[in-house]
Amino acid sequence: MTRIIDGKVISAAVKERVAKGVAELKDKGITVGLAVIIVGEDPASKVYVANKKKACEALGIISEEYALPENTTEQELLDLIFELNNKKSINGILCQLPLPRHLDEKLIINSILPEKDVDAFHPHNVGRIMIGDYDFVPCTPAGIMEMLAFENIDVEGKTCVVIGRSNIVGKPMGMLLLHKNGTVTICHSRTKNLKEVCKNADILVAAVGKAGFVTPDMVKEGAVVIDVGMNRENGKLCGDVDYDAVFDKCSAITPVPGGVGPMTIAMLMQNTLTAAKRQNS
């Protein structure tokens, strides 16, 4: 019997934990604050920012939104980040990606103080993830690890395959699985014999951005399948996994929507709380 890993249930548990932590800090006179910067009018980004604001309000986190016009200069954005870096009431800074093309994404990310980098994209935090001594992890991989722990899915000794090598999901996902003693392979567009590699996986994480990419002939009987994909096909949200076709082969699987998606914002809230705790000793 295939188990559906419900991201809504697990994210609710994380948010409950965060709300409790925020309340405990508040009792000590400490507020938790998150600043979200959005540049331009990207519709998907606007939805994400609205959802983050809503989550903050529900958990008692102060949310400051900075909506900047598309033609904002690099210096104007850097000046804002400098101001927020020095603002004591702000514990976390998130700059919504993607940025307009005239802005240097790398420069902007690197200008956020590592201790306020709740997305964990700064090279300092990436390096700490590499050595296994970190405060923050990018929110989607962090959410996946939370899901595996919640479902009592042990990573140790398992063959783990991650499809996708992005800095946001694929690479940190591989490191987190490795830190839990999984044997990890990261696949990408140049991987040879991809189907055979995937079919050996006890835990398969699909983060490739192509609807229905993972088919039954790529999935081992009894595997745990984690679908990170958020694609639109015929106006419908779907993942990187051909869910219906793969379902019966899995021991556990995440749906889209309702799987990994809700975890990403929950873990952002967790990272923001962690930042507040670290900054207030």
What average pLDDT does range 224-229 have in this prediction? 97
Residue 75 annotated to the active site: no
Residues 160, 101: one domain? no
- Tell whether the model's pLDDT for residue 218 goes beyond 90: yes
Domain total of the chain: 2
Helix (H) or strand (E) holding 68: strand 62-68
Print the domain residue range for 90: 30-113
pLDDT of residue 43: 84
What average pLDDT does range 44-60 have in this prediction? 92
Active-site residue, selected from the candidate residues 116, 117, 119, 202: 119
Q: What is the mean pLDDT of the chain?
A: 96
Q: What confidence category does residue 235 fall into, taking pLDDT thresholds of 50, 70 and 90?
A: confident
Active-site residue, selected from the candidate residues 15, 52, 158, 180: 52
Residues 255, 146: one domain? yes
pLDDT of residue 45: 85
Query: What is the spatial distance between Cα 270 and Cα 56, in angstroms, rounded to a whole number?
Result: 11
Amino acid at residue number 98: P
Residues 222, 183: one domain? yes
Q: How many CA atoms lie within 13 A of 160 on its CB side?
A: 27
Query: What is the spatial distance between Cα 119 and Cα 62, in angstroms, rounded to a whole number?
Result: 17
CB count, 10 Å around CB of 3?
12
Query: What proportion of the chain, given as a percentage, has pLDDT over 90?
Result: 94
Query: What is the spatial distance between Cα 5 and Cα 243, in angstroms, rounded to a whole number?
Result: 13
Residue 96 annotated to the active site: yes
Residue 279 annotated to the active site: no
Strand order in the sheet with 203-206: 3-4, 250-253, 223-227, 203-206, 159-163, 183-187
pLDDT of residue 38: 96
SS3 29: coil
Residues 255, 144: one domain? yes
Q: What is the pTM of this model?
A: 0.95
Active-site residue, selected from the candidate residues 15, 96, 116, 171: 96
